[in-house]
Structure 1
Amino acid sequence: MNKLSSAVLSSVIALGLLSGCGDDDSDAQVGIVPPGAPTVLLPATGPSLRVGETVTFPVEVRAPSGIRNSGFLIVTQRQPNGNTSDSVFNPADFGCVTGDTFCRSDDFVFRVGANADAGNYQLTFVAVDTTNQTSVPSTLTIFAFR
């Protein structure tokens, strides 16, 4: 009797787990897993530079669903004084085209103006693909000194 009860209970648990998978949309495609969200790859450590100078570094975007035609990369800059600003890049800014699944720039340019504050500048990168999925934010800290 205990073996039968255990088998029935296991079957009920399995049915409960399976019925919780997916969604209830009747038009959903069964067994189709959408491609993953985009990713942004940056250098492991940020560069340092003197106030008034420019630095370049590589930025790589991977988007299994393809990069979208405009605003595929959003960069938020946080200055040492706490001010923030956003810059939006299109595929052409990186020499790429809409739908590419891989896009890389070896010379992303960052400049700290001559009258700017010394300190840490944080650049946070978010990529967006053709299905409007966004990457996990990737942050690079650049130290500017006098």
Structure 2
Amino acid sequence: MGIGGFAAYAAGGVFLAWTALLCAFDIRERRLPDALTVPPAVAAAIACVWHPPLAWGLVWPALYLLVGRGIGGGDVKLAVPLGVACAAMGGPFGVVAAIGLSGLLSVAVAVVAGMRAVPHGPSMLGAGWALFPFLCMYSGV
């Protein structure tokens, strides 16, 4: 395994740890901390400036800002890097698929748990992880 392979595994490990922290915090506190959402959101926004096709990923947070009801500020900030990552892997299709799957996962969890409201962050992250292999195949990565 060359340095590229090691970097990919290291990045995957960092993203997995980030996902676990965000999920645990959102489930326990019902909010996503700025310290874990703002830096990736800023980095993703900067990536959109350098590579404009990634801006398709900003559809996700824009939709959440328009819908508003039931979507917290942490979910909007989390939607920025997740949307941009999905746009990088699958273009507009990847973003729409992630939005739809995250909504379906939240509804499914709420139904199974018998609750009216559930944290949405874990569903967003779960959708991203679930779609990632398929989006990579779609994009040829």
Scaled by the length of structure 1, the TM-score of the pair is: 0.27
Structure number with higher helix proportion: 2
Report the TM-score, using the length of structure 2 for normalisation: 0.27
Report the structure number with the largest CA radius of gyration. 1
Q: Which has the higher contact order (CA 8 A, sep 6+)?
A: 1
Whose strand proportion is higher, 1 or 2? Answer: 1
